[in-house]
Amino acid sequence: MPGALRLILDRPPANAFDLRLYQELGGVLRAIGAAPPRCLEIGSALPRFFSGGRDLKEPPTSPADLPERHRAVTELYRTLHGLECPTIAIVEGHALGAGCVIASLCDFRVATSAAAFGLPEVKAGSVGGARHLLRLLPHGVVRGMALSARPLPAARAAALGMCDLVDDDQDPWAAADELAREVTAFDADTVARVKRALNDSEDAALWDGFAIELAAGT
């Protein structure tokens, strides 16, 4: 739709993340942030996966290379979270690990009944992603996801307020476009200020957060 940009993940067979993909997607998002569209929609070209998470075929990261990897991962997530335009994740399949985090960092999530969100890192002897989910889901739910590696079905995620669930006969991209029309109907500068205030006040104490909102509104 006019004013919205679509970013489509397409790395078969599961949009798995290796270091190169973290770096490349981070670069794409930084370029988008330099001249943000009215809205960004992020989805997948693969019907079964938004992303399968970490690429397990990637050679193990050596201790010397860990800082570079951590930097690439953190910069990608920070850039996505900090985009001034509204962001919508369209999740039609599994969003696992990095995919789950990316979806959680978007402002909205539109999901089909086949979608699921998961933190399977424990199966690979790794840790990560749970802190981002705690922004959207109860602590007990996230703890269960992280410790058991069981995915959270879209219907349950919707019941908990994490995503909007579309009907099986509805096109999720069309639903995302309709949502984009709603948020792009408002003044772009005002939307950007609202989003910055939400980001800046998210972890603030009550009255500190309110002060941030008041400052953004003037």
Answer yes or no: are the C-beta atoms of 163 and 107 closer than 8 Å. Answer: no
Mean confidence (pLDDT) of the chain? 94
> For position 62, what pLDDT does the model report?
67
Mention the CATH class of domain 4-183.
alpha beta
Q: Which residues contact 212 (CB under 8 A, 6 or more apart)?
A: 197, 200, 201, 204
Confidence check: pLDDT of 26 > 90: yes
Confidence check: pLDDT of 195 > 80: yes
> For position 58, what pLDDT does the model report?
84
Reported as a single tens digit per residue, the pLDDT across 80-131 is 999 999 999 999 999 999 999 999 999 999 999 999 999 999 998 888 899 9
| Percent with pLDDT over 70 in the chain | 98
pLDDT band at 65 (very low <50, low <70, confident <90, very high): confident
Answer yes or no: are the C-beta atoms of 84 and 33 closer than 8 Å. Answer: yes
Answer yes or no: are the C-beta atoms of 118 and 152 closer than 8 Å. Answer: yes
What's the order of all strands across the beta sheet hosting 116-118? 49-51, 94-96, 116-118, 152-153
> For position 3, what pLDDT does the model report?
82
> For position 56, what pLDDT does the model report?
84
Domain ranges for the chain, please list them: 4-183, 186-218
> For position 126, what pLDDT does the model report?
87
Mean pLDDT of 29-48: 97
> For position 217, what pLDDT does the model report?
82
Mean pLDDT of 18-23: 95
Q: Which residues contact 214 (CB under 8 A, 6 or more apart)?
A: none
pLDDT band at 179 (very low <50, low <70, confident <90, very high): very high
Q: Report the range of poorest mean pLDDT among 41-55, 77-91, 122-136.
A: 122-136
Output the pTM of the full model. 0.94
> For position 57, what pLDDT does the model report?
85
